[in-house]
Amino acid sequence: MSSIELKNVSCSYDGGKTYALKNIDMSMDKEGRYSLLGPSGCGKTTLLKIIAGILEYEGEVFFNGENMRDVPIEERDIAMVFQSPVVYPMTVYDNLIFPIRRKNSSMKEKEKKVQEIADLLGLGSILKAQAHKLGPAEMQTVALGRSLIKDAKILLLDEPLTSIEAEKRLILRTKIKRIQEEEQKIFIYVTHDQTEALTLSDKIAVMDDGRIVQFDTKERIYDRPAHLFVGYFMGSPGMNILEGKVKAGRMHFRDFELPIPPEYKEYLAKHGEFKLGMRPENFIFSKTEKKDFFLFNCIDIQEKGEGVRVLYLKSKDGYNELKAVGTFADIKAGEKVWVHFPIEELRVYDKKSEQIVA
């Protein structure tokens, strides 16, 4: 079993004035598919480079319990694929065999290994082509193949699809997924694209401003964002955020009020102000007035494609704005609608720290 553990890892590019990474603690305790997800400048590539061993850092990094402080990149059991495809100016075959050319095994075995990788990635028909003359998607496939041939236990992928033509990304994404299904490794995938993270990993570390804001299964990242940033960043549109006050044992939002979900009772008994998070997919609508439904005006509707629409809603007196996502075939812009907030879908966050109330 392989594992990676980071303890209090920080990194500065300017001698300590500012930190690109701040006190990262993270444990990937078995083989599996992991993603580092965040906007540009959040520190995700910096973190990947530290794991690869190509950046100085503060704190400790362990592979399988062993401190990697003085272990150079070539002695770490890792392979890496970069954002821009890196291939050598030689044939695809020679590119693939390059990392194992000095390996202590017979030529026959090496050729067999190249053939296996070529079959897995569909490179069989272009083995004799010059790698550096291929298109970006094929070049990246070759780079991917070369990273697999060493049988490294850790595969690091740094936005491998970003510089690929849009229409070929699907093919490459499918190949990466196939590798993930067939090879037992720690896969760490760096991306700013939530679809890639959700498709190509089981656990996601959402990063912002040099920190890991949440490291969790993709289901929990979506369902229980630990911080409002995660709620905003994941989802399209992201989580609705409302500012509320506690009055007489209920949550007040100026022109409507909701009961307090049981799990937040203790916290809201001590805190008068809070923020409420609610996924735009989870509202229930009525065209007529009903108990526990609140009046909103639908001010705009946008088609999002695939039959999905986004409703832009304003509360009765205009104090609160919401976005709702769904099919909503019978709601029109300009109409009044009554909105229900299912209590089990409400998430309460601390007003100042914006952390979820546990």
**Partners of residue 347 on adjacent β-strands:** 277
Site mask for another protein (CB under 8 A), range 257-296, x = bound: ------------------------x---------------
Q: Measured from the CB of residue 216, what is the shortest distance to another protein in angstroms? A: 15
236 scored as a contact of another protein (CB under 8 A): yes
Q: With binding defined as CB under 8 A, does residue 347 bind another protein?
A: no
232 binds another protein (CB under 8 A): yes
How many CA atoms lie within 13 Å of 68's alpha carbon, on the beta-carbon side?
Answer: 28
Only segment of 17-25, 55-63, 84-92, 234-242 that touches another protein (CB under 8 A): 234-242
Strand 66-67 versus strand 284-286 pairing type: unpaired
Rounded CA-CA distance 120/267 in Å is: 53
Task: Tell me how far CA of residue 200 lies from CA of 127, 197, 205, in angstroms.
Answer: 27, 5, 13
- Binding of residue 302 to another protein (CB under 8 A): yes
CA atoms within 13 A on the CB side of 178: 14
Per-residue DSSP letter, 334? T
* CA angle at 269 for the pair 266 and 270, rounded to the nearest 5°: 100
Nearest Cα residue to 237 out of 290, 269, 281: 281
Q: How far is the CB of 162 from another protein (least distance, A)?
A: 12
Binds another protein by CB under 8 A, chosen from 17, 40, 270, 344: 40
255 binds another protein (CB under 8 A): no
Answer yes or no whether residue 122 interacts with another protein by CB under 8 A. no
- 330 sits near another protein (criterion: CB under 8 A): no
Record the tokens describing residue 90, joined without a space.
């030689």
Residues in the interface with another protein (CB under 8 A) total 38
Q: Report the C-alpha gap between 324 and 310 in whole angstroms.
A: 6
192 and 38 Cβ atoms separated by less than 8 Å: yes
Q: Which of 174, 184, 353, 355 binds another protein (CB under 8 A)?
A: 174
Which residue in the set 76, 153, 185, 192 belongs to the binding site for another protein (CB under 8 A)?
A: 192
Instruction: Please choose, out of 124-132, 141-149, 244-252, 302-310, the segment that lies near another protein by the rule CB under 8 A.
Output: 302-310
Check: CB of residue 81 under 8 Å from CB of residue 160: yes
Q: Write down the H helix ranges in the chain.
A: 44-52, 92-97, 107-121, 136-148, 166-182, 194-200, 218-223, 228-233, 265-270
**Residue the block writes with tokens 């090496």:** 110
186 or 198: CB nearest another protein: 198
Exactly one of 56, 66, 70, 306 binds another protein (CB under 8 A); that residue is: 306
Residue list 194-223, contact with another protein (CB under 8 A):
194-195, 198-199, 218, 222
Instruction: State yes or no: residue 308 binds another protein (CB under 8 A).
Output: yes
Shortest distance in whole angstroms from residue 209 CB to another protein: 14
Which one of residues 288, 305, 330, 358 is an interface residue with another protein (CB under 8 A)?
Answer: 305
Q: Which is nearer to another protein, 173 or 340 (CB)?
A: 173
Residue-wise over 321-349: b if at least 16 C-beta within 10 A, else e? ebbbbbebeebeeeeebbbbbeeeebbbb
CB of 281 to another protein, least distance (A): 8
- Beta strand 336-340 pairing with 154-158: unpaired
Task: Among 103, 112, 178, 252, indicate the residue that binds another protein (CB under 8 A).
Answer: 178
Q: Does 64 bind another protein (CB under 8 A)?
A: no
Question: Residues interacting with another protein, by CB under 8 A?
Answer: 39-40, 166, 170, 173-174, 177-178, 181, 192-195, 198-199, 218, 222, 232-238, 281, 300, 302-308, 310, 312, 325-327
